[in-house]
Structure 1
């Protein structure tokens, strides 16, 4: 019978090596798995995530009023005409924040435009915004429903 040898002439180490007692410390037994605890923690984390997502959607999600900028005209000195659409529930009013900025990004004009309550769900507005400087943009920041 032949023994296996490594390339340097030593006998290979086998998997059934036993260490001397007390030399390397106490040997730990394998830990018990706790699938119930892991499952409960996983379910708890998922539920907490769902509750947080629901709450953030309630606070910051899609509102009933939305806006869309159609364009702006800055050809008249001292003013920017901002044209935008507002989508709102029928019978409800809204307020939209409109602003203009210069080339450096500084705000040079701001107004809150009221959209009256009527039966229309889509309103096109054209608002002449007074500015202090040379405008570069005309923007609708956001719109919200009035009570």
Structure 2
């Protein structure tokens, strides 16, 4: 009976690159680097949210009434900081999308700041179909 022993192969030096030594590497540096990267990404995301997330003077249309031939009443919401006043441009358009009326209104802040719900009338030259809040910005 012959016996075959399992041996590790012997490779010529330098021919196949560097061989691993079989020890397991510790993943601690990789984990630390990933944690530092994640904290940095969260910091950047928080900074951008503070700068651009809760924008003041950002209008949101709520709706409008059944328009007449002479006016359209538009209801909208705008966030105004405490002590500030927003200047908002309202627009009424007809069924084909043509502008039939526009008006600029001043919206004072609510006590303590925050969102303000406003209902304003826009005079029109003919029957409107759609009401828009074009823009809101700081008054002045």
TM range (shorter): 0.5 to 0.7
Separation in structure 1 between the aligned mates of residue 46 and residue 78 of structure 2, nearest angstrom: 26
Structure 1: runs of 5+ lacking an equivalent: 2-15
Task: Report matched runs for 1:74-89 at 5 Å.
Answer: 75-77=67-69, 80-86=72-78, 88-89=80-81
Separation in structure 2 between the aligned mates of residue 22 and residue 120 of structure 1, nearest angstrom: 79
Aligned residues: 131
Pick from 104, 108, 122: which aligns with 1:128?
122
Pick from 2, 8, 22: which aligns with 2:12?
22
Of structures 1 and 2, the larger Rg is shown by 1
- After superposition, the C-alpha distances for 1:28-63 in whole angstroms (9 at most, x for unaligned) are 114763534213311221122112111211221124
Q: Does 1:137 align with 2:130?
A: yes
Deviation at 1:82, TM superposition (A): 1.5
Separation in structure 2 between the aligned mates of residue 26 and residue 118 of structure 1, nearest angstrom: 72
TM-score (norm 2): 0.57
Task: Report matched runs for 1:26-105 at 5 Å.
Answer: 26=17, 28-30=19-21, 33-63=25-55, 67-73=59-65, 75-77=67-69, 80-86=72-78, 88-89=80-81, 91-100=83-92
Describe the shift of the 1:64–1:26 C-alpha distance in structure 2 as closer, same or farther (beyond 3 A): closer
